[in-house]
Structure 1
């Protein structure tokens, strides 16, 4: 079992003037503690579960580039990019750039988007749900094609690209993670296109995995080759984290991905380095 760090809040005690050096300290501490990946949200306003929209929020891919410069091992991704916020050709280029400049550590986290409030506020497109999922499938096809270096023109319902030139190509083909547990559409897209999924814990978690397996069987995909990650709010007690990891591992999850209180307090990473990560590696 491996750990991922999700940084979802930037309202820290010393304010925006210190965001840059403190975020660099967090990145170094997480990288050295053994977190296998670091993610940020792809939102332009803070989301309601974390605080009011007026709280500080950094643009995702600029932030990931900053994190790349301050880490050496951790994979980097959004959890997750709203498909309608960027044209897929530009999105593939951004992820490829992140991969090249990070030495092959980029992942593409992507989903259908849900935050209508911030979209309307800043003039970002937010079509109806059905269309967002159609766009998501086309974007997945485009990104996979560009990561592979296939320049063939793409003609979809919503996107039309004349030449999918992507130079330089990524150093490592960025793994694609689709976020969400929608059973009819999202998990089907995972089975068809993704290298990984990210699910929320709860009483229906095993059921979600069973649905994904049925979709894999239907499309001829090997269920076991899809990495299963679970979003998780890390408690203060290391024993609770290890106990939860055992339960998730028994279900087939290989990554616990989440945040914890006061992430800006880098001393908290010492217990992960010294106790938690070694214990999880032994599972």
Structure 2
């Protein structure tokens, strides 16, 4: 007899990936996990603590806060050298995307398209090998957060961060809430979500000279040298590091400029269930 063990919303992963038409996209997925196998001497398929620890650590070390590249997608070229990976791709209109990062910041996936289903299959094969022999099967599912209101996909990199947030092309799928005089303004939320759909939020100080119509960002961080080039129309620069706190402050200040007589409050999310609040 086999018994199934399940863990809903075990963790969530935040990353960016290349889409065949939309280009660089930030994303956030919740992870559902199901194991089946024989019971061990403790009457368990696997201890929940082991399940959570193994899965979270593997996700953190593999795809979380990375750029996922589907190597079978048209016009993708990648090159790996010692400790570094470079990726080049062309948007449907021929414009250039290029990213050079330490190798752990870019994950090459042997698929045509990054989807929850394709990534679940890719992760399952590798993750199953980590579990005790009593575990005979593993079913993994990635699920986008259900958001009733406005949301957008954004990518960024935090040069000054000690952890994986320093990677120049990682991202999130984030809701946004805007209040004017303590009343939520869903129309304004949607306007900003539309404006920032699939956006790269850059830091002005990271911008380097580039061809007309293109933005090139470069910086040195603890993990190594990072660079990113993409069309200007997909970018939005702010004068500070692009932490969620600074994003919330920037939005509140911009909205206050347009509505100087109103009290403004912005709740900016960074992926699932976390974010920052700024008032102006």
Q: Report the TM-score, using the length of structure 1 for normalisation.
A: 0.25
The answer to which structure has the higher helix fraction is: 1
The answer to which structure has the higher strand fraction is: 2
Structure having the higher Rg? 2
